Copies of this chain bind each other. A is one copy, B any other.
Amino acid sequence: MPELRKDPIIGRWVIISTERGKRPTDFPSMAKTREPRLCPFCPSNEASTPPEVAAVRSDGSDSNESGWTLRVVPNKFPALKIEGDLNREGVGIFDKMNGVGAHEVIIETPDHMKDLVDLEFEDFKNVIRAYRDRILDLNKDPRFKYILVFKNQGEAAGASLEHSHSQLIATPILPKRVMEELSGAKQYYDFKERCVYCDIIRQELNEDVRVIAYNDSFVAVQPFASRFPFETWLMPRFHESAFEKIRGETIEQMVPVFKETLKRLSVALNNPPYNFMIHTAPSDNHFSSEYHWHIEIIPKLVKVAGFEWGTGFYINPTTPEDAANFLKQVEI
C-alpha cells in the first residue's frame, strides 16, 4: 500500500509509492569524464571571471592570479545585478521591480578533476568558511532580504560548468519557500513551545531508522516525508537559527558529517548529479527560537512532472528507511 506522509514543518504531503518499483540501484548514474581545457574556473584563467571578491591564498599570491585554493567571484552572467534601486512598480494589476541582488560563485578547488566530496578536510572547511563570510558580508546590504547558498553538481542538476563550484544569490524579497518554513516552524513553536527541528532530531536519533551519519554536533537523516529518493538533510544537533553564525570549532564538527554524507551518496548512487541548499534564517531573524538552520541535499534521480507541478505533492518511489539502510551499508 502506498503511504502519504506529511512534512511536519511546511505541511507538504508526499506519496511514498514503492510499488512503482525503483530499487536504489535502478537510478541512472553519472560517469565522471572531464575536460579541463578552457575552463574559466581553472588556475591561469583567472581573467575569464569578473575580479574576485574573496580568495584563500596561503602562498601570498596576488588577487586574480594563480596560487589560490578557493576563489569567490561574481557570476559572469548574474541572475540579479548588484547595482541599482528596487523601483517597485505596478503595471495594471501586475507588480514588478528591478532585478537587484548579488550572484556569486564559490570555486571550491583549483583542481578541475576534484568534486567537493574529494576535498581534504582543511579545504572543505575553507568552503564552509567562505559560505559563512560571504553571507555575513552581504547581510550588511539593506537591499537584500535573503541570501541562499546552493550547489548544482552535474548537468542534470543544472550545472553549466563541470569545475566544482557552489553559488550564492542574494534576493531583495524574502523567498516564498523560506516564508513557508518560517511560518510552519513558528506555528509549531506557538503550539508546543519547542523547535520542530529539535523535535525531529530527537525522534530521528531515538528511532535510528533514517539517520545515515552523525557525531556529537551534527546529524544527517533521510527525512520522514522525503520528496525525492535519497533526499538528505544535514542538521546541527544544537539549536541555532542562522548558519552564518557558525564558528570555527563548529565547522570542525560539521565537515566530517557533511563529507561522510556526500561520500555515502556518491558511492551508493555512483556519483549522482545533485543540488544542495543551505536553509538559514533571514538576516533580520537571527535569534529565533523557532527556526533551525539545515542543509537539504537532493540527488537528481527522478523527474518532476505534471502531477508535482499541479499539486505540489511529490511521488517518491523509495522509502527514506530503505534509502537510509542502503546508504549506511555502502563501504566508504
Q: In chain A, residues 1-42, which have Cβ atoms closer than 8 Å to a Cβ of chain B?
A: 1-6, 8, 11-13, 15-17, 19-21
Q: Which of A80, A98, A203, A311 has the most CB of B within 10 A?
A: A311
The A interface, classified by DSSP as helix, strand, loop or mixed, is mixed
Q: Is A156 an interface residue (CB 8 A)?
A: yes
Chain B, residue nearest A203 (CB)? B92
Pick the contact of A15 from B16, B19, B79, B146 — CB < 8 Å?
Answer: B79
Question: Does B306 contact A276, Cβ atoms closer than 8 Å?
Answer: yes
Docked Cα-Cα span, A77 to B317, in Å, equals 11
Q: Evaluate contact between A203 and B12: CB separation under 8 angstroms.
A: no
Q: Taking the complex as formed, is A150 at the interface, i.e. its CB lies under 8 A from any CB of chain B?
A: yes
Residues of B within 8 A of A167 (CB): 306-307
Determine which of B156, B306, B307 lies in contact with A303 in the assembled complex, contact meaning CB atoms within 8 Å: B156
A177 within 8 A of B: yes
**Segment at the interface with B among A106-114, A129-137, A168-176, A247-255:** A168-176
* A157-B307 contact given A1-B81, A1-B98, A94-B8, CB 8 Å threshold: no
Smallest CB separation, A1 vs chain B (Å): 6
Check B6 against A176 for contact (C-beta < 8 Å).
Answer: no
One complex includes copies of this chain to the number of 2
Neighbour of A177 across the interface among B178, B225, B276, B310, CB < 8 A: B310
Q: Does A95 have its Cβ within 8 Å of any Cβ on chain B?
A: yes
Known: A15-B99, A84-B1. A309 touches B313 (CB 8 A): no
- Inter-subunit contact B99/A3 (CB<8 Å): yes
Binding site for B on A (CB under 8 A): 1-6, 8, 11-13, 15-17, 19-21, 77-81, 84, 91-99, 146, 148, 150-152, 156-159, 167, 169, 171-173, 175-178, 180, 196, 199-200, 203, 207, 224-225, 275-279, 296, 298, 303-307, 309-313, 315
Residue numbers in B under 8 Å from A148 (CB-CB): 306-307, 310-311
CB nearest to A155 among chain B residues: B303
23 sampled A-B residue pairs with Cβ under 8 A = A2-B80, A4-B99, A15-B99, A17-B78, A93-B196, A94-B224, A94-B225, A146-B311, A148-B310, A150-B306, A150-B307, A152-B305, A157-B303, A158-B305, A158-B306, A169-B307, A173-B313, A176-B312, A177-B309, A177-B312, A277-B306, A296-B310, A304-B304
Contact A172 B4 (CB under 8 A): yes
CB-CB under 8 A from A11, the residues of chain B are 176
